Structure 1
């Protein structure tokens, strides 16, 4: 088993403890840190479970966030954007496969909409202004990307990004890609539910646990507390 991200722990932990990076690496939305607006374009009513595939940094944190969202039934960590033959962690970590660390989200559209998932994504799950990186993780495999599965998802994602840009929701340009989903490949078993199973690892404590806290704070009606907390964190 090779988890290259572990190499960052000693340096990352020491920098964070000295106050160098702060407890979370999300962008600040708006000049007054106002909540993001609801999408003006959203999905039509649908019957049956729906699927969303999103990328934006380490899939550990993405999975941890969406596992706590009302209406979400299952979240897998995996890879999207490249070929099946290169969909393994060692190859993806090289940064030249076209893959991004992603999550596949199966959800009930009667409880949470695609547009609401995107609002959560942009608000607490990823920093859409960081190009080919998220915080301490650098490379195209950590890019911010929405992999749409149909025309409606493309329309909603494109419209919401345009809405956020028009509202000047972020101080820096949004660089999130909107690209067709060609395949999703489930990551190795040791990556699944990683944040939940390793809540005390420095990477999780400093990078992923705060996202779950922000989810609870910003989306109290969509937050599900009974799926197991990632870690107890107090943000100031």
Structure 2
């Protein structure tokens, strides 16, 4: 094959959605012909849904907008982590507003791309696009796939509660008999987790209030 498999896959996910299945099958056929062991894996690639296809097109057609979203999402994540650590919520509303604006612009661009492709840009479809963008932008396991325009599934974003859970992950159990000091440490850890979950709920509420205030300011 003249191109690497990564290049072939990038081209595949850039095709019009109605051409994906034929393109995938042709790529798998050529790989099998070349006795490439990855042929079966390629043959099983899922056809993207319309929202996922639109997100992949955004990675190709609006690279600047995608970079802005990734930067805004990273800033928001850091602001959330600082808030959960008790360092205050200064900057949280601003970070949330910037991430929201980056999402809004990309979602509007997706509306145009869907129209160009002759596909309906319903509110439900645009919401799924926005949700997947928001989730992928902060998920380290798929950020690079998002940037490459090769997502294969829709995603749901992590909320403050999930972040609090990661921040307060329990320590690995030690292979020894539990002592009084151990029990006290476990109780303190549990109190910390409860406090973080409570703080996460407060931050979630503040974020929703800030979003409603931003909506009112725009009308």
Give TM-score scaled by structure 2 length: 0.23
* Structure with the largest fraction of helix: 2
**TM-score between both structures, scaled by the size of structure 1:** 0.22
- Between the two structures, name the one with larger relative contact order (CA 8 Å, sep ≥ 6): 1
Which protein is richer in strand relative to its size?
1
